[in-house]
Structure 1
């Protein structure tokens, strides 16, 4: 950077490939990291750790003001490691400033403050849609830093990732009418790794065979009223596949997501029952997952529809438990059979005492209410052990199986499940 340069660079390279760091960092000789802290000793310590891990371009920045000035002057960084408690502009204000400047690289937060403060700041950065790798508690160790860097993926950078734009309502309407939005299936496994059910996830490929993420079309469907037609379309396609797998002798249940918007239609239970009957599938073989993406606006209609769904034999699951609207109140009012614990309280839970406490208490609560518990977002062996140890009944996540197209899922069944 010409003229003013607040950065003091320590440049030295050692063998990164021998330290288990991801290839995404190892293959980038120009990988730029900026450490932001008002403590010179801490800057030196973290810089030395990065050097031992083979980071060639480590920049030391002594204040939040200098960091934002550097970015305003054109500097770009692949990763920022920012202290929370600094004089002048603190770490929270830095997060706000990065979001305002559309910072596109990765971010890590570190501090000597209570880990819950770090966690809150991490949640804030995620709410601003920044690419947060994680948090580090002081004093930072090489193992902590190595694990953090292993999570870096250049594909997550907004330098290379286009922003997701909502689709137009008319385009979505056409896609729904032509069944272009199709079901993928992700197994829910018991603790013995046997399939108990499979969740249906809506997937949409455009004309270039690129996936349009659900965040780009589900809110649009809810806003425009297309959600009813979309839900029925995906339900019908899913039940058709499910009927075939039952006929082949496989024994598991089907879980389909519904929206609170669907609960405004009093005939919704009859529509689902009619589709299930057409494909000779009993309603008690189907779980309906209710995501709390929106507040149930019409309580009377909602309770009417949910009660009739249960009377017809459908099981009800409360999805993303703990993240939606009035979860505890819903548990008291609605006859749920299953409680799905959100990924936020599952992934890397062994490193997060607060999330661990929430996971344990949620599991205990579900057992007292005689509900099946499902842990979502299990991505590592450590996640699996954590949820098994607290007594979760079912486990779902990339560690054992990703969402699969019907043909892939059927192949997975052949390999991983026995027919009755």
Structure 2
């Protein structure tokens, strides 16, 4: 049976643009092309759910592209989507952000006028999207009771993502990340359980379990890992417990692990409401030797206030700013200014979400201490980490900058 050619669906109020699109796309790849000059026609068409790619113009009179994004989200559309517009690149970037918030799969934004080179880049992005390994389906959900019970059955396990020295490209640290070892579904991302645990106030137990797994791993391999720094996330909600420093210190001392090798990462998007009790807890963490990091910097609402009032040692630049910062002027400006602030405050800097060489080059030139991201390493099991660490110690990188 012959394989059906991919269906490319375009929505644009200009018949001239639709004709041009059909001509340009057909020269890139054999396909079936359908053009709609009105968004309402596309929304009512069954082909919209069968398309391999949807091209959407943002400037239309009857129903504009912003409203179309909302309508496509209501249809639970999962097809890859490319945005077209005669507006400037900032408008397209903001529209892409809105689409992502709607849960749509944006693979490209194209400024008009169209060209062969722009469509070639679009086709490359579509190929990359189709080659990406299928993740767990977004429509999978787990009952709150199952998520919480899994915590007390000790089904959550520690995965490790290495942090690399920007100068030597050697592993100098690791972040402990939670994964659910589900009895039927295997390894489950925190996307499916962390918000439930947070809203039910069970993250303190998760932190305790992950820290125990981390220090036990260190204790077993202490000769090999004696110089590594281990980071673990704590929720801002946990800072309401004034005995938390003693609890976490006890876990470390029971395994004879120096608290100075543990960095506690506080997610900045979790706004600290009670600064007095939070500062009480954080200062006692410092007295007990723990290091403190402000995670996801710039994504919350009180960044400067927290830097000014709380005793952080490290600042992590969020992946949403790092990824693509070399080619996006707005992201680059945020990353550069954040590094300047951190340097002036004497904070170490970690850049997370580094995936491209161009972004890596920018980050290194800004004096960032350590790098975390898929460019070097993905999160892995304890066994896999030991293998990576041994290999990394022996390798001399040829692309050092």
Decide which of 59, 66, 73 is 1:92's aligned counterpart.
66
Higher mean alpha-carbon deviation, 93-102 vs 247-256, is at: 247-256
Are residues 156 and 29 of structure 1, via their aligned partners in 2, closer, same or farther at CA, if it must alter by over 3 Å? farther
Residue 17 (structure 2) aligns with: 42
How far off its partner does 1:285 sit?
1.0
Query: C-alpha separation between the residues in 2 aligned to 1:388 and 1:65?
Result: 48
Is 2:208 the partner of 1:232?
Answer: yes
Of 362, 381, 385, the match for 1:386: 362
Structure 1 residue corresponding to 2:119, chosen from 142, 163, 167: 142
So what's the TM-score if we normalise by structure 2?
0.91
1:74 Cα deviation (Å)?
6.9
Corresponding residue number in structure 2 for 1:304 = 280
* Per-residue deviation, residues 269-320 of structure 1 (Å, max 9, x unmatched): 1111111111111111111111134322332221211111112111111111
Q: CA deviation at 1:155?
A: 6.6
Give 5+ residue unaligned stretches, structure 1.
1-26
Map 1:250-399 to 2 at 5 A. 250-399=226-375
Q: Are the structure 2 counterparts of residues 199 and 76 from structure 1 closer, same or farther at C-alpha, using a change threshold of 3 Å?
A: same
Determine if contact 2:204/2:234 at 8 Å carries over to the other structure.
no
Please give the alpha-carbon distance, in whole angstroms, between the structure 1 residues aligned to 2:60 and 2:385.
51
Q: What is the TM-score with the length of structure 1 in the denominator?
A: 0.87
Rounded to whole Å, the distance in 1 between the matches of 2:133 and 2:34 is 22
2: CA distance between counterparts of 1:342 and 1:43?
Answer: 39
Deviations 1:345-397 (A, max 9, x none): 11122331111111111111111111111111111222322322333221111
SS of structure 1 residue aligned to 2:45: helix
Shift of 1:196: 1.8
Q: Distance in 2 between matches of 1:94 and 1:416?
A: 48
Task: Tell me the residue number matched to 2:55.
Answer: 81
Aligned to 1:102: 76
Alignment of 1:193-272 (within 5 A): 193-248=169-224, 250-272=226-248
- Equivalent position SS for 2:221: helix
| Cα separation, 2, equivalents of 1:354 and 1:162 | 30
What is the rounded CA distance, in whole Å, between the counterparts of 1:279 and 1:409 in structure 2? 20
Q: How many residues are matched?
A: 390
State whether residues 253 and 287 of structure 1, in contact with CA within 8 Å, keep that contact through their aligned partners in structure 2.
yes
Please state whether the residue corresponding to 1:43 is helix, strand or coil: helix
- CA distance in 2 between counterparts of 1:128 and 1:75 reads 17
Aligned match of 1:131: 105
For 2:178, what is the secondary structure of its paired residue?
Answer: strand
Change (3 A) 1:134 1:166: farther
Unaligned 5+ segments in structure 2 are 395-401
User: Is the Cα–Cα contact under 8 Å of residues 242 and 254 in structure 1 kept in the other structure?
Assistant: no
Other-structure match for 1:152: 129
Aligned-partner SS, 1:248: helix
Could you list the runs of 4 or more consecutive aligned residues of structure 1 that deviate by over 6 angstroms after TM superposition? 154-158
Give the conservation status (yes or no) of the 8 Å contact 1:99–1:130. Answer: yes
Distance across 1 between alignment mates of 2:38 and 2:366: 43
Please state how far the C-alpha of 1:90 moved relative to its aligned partner.
0.8
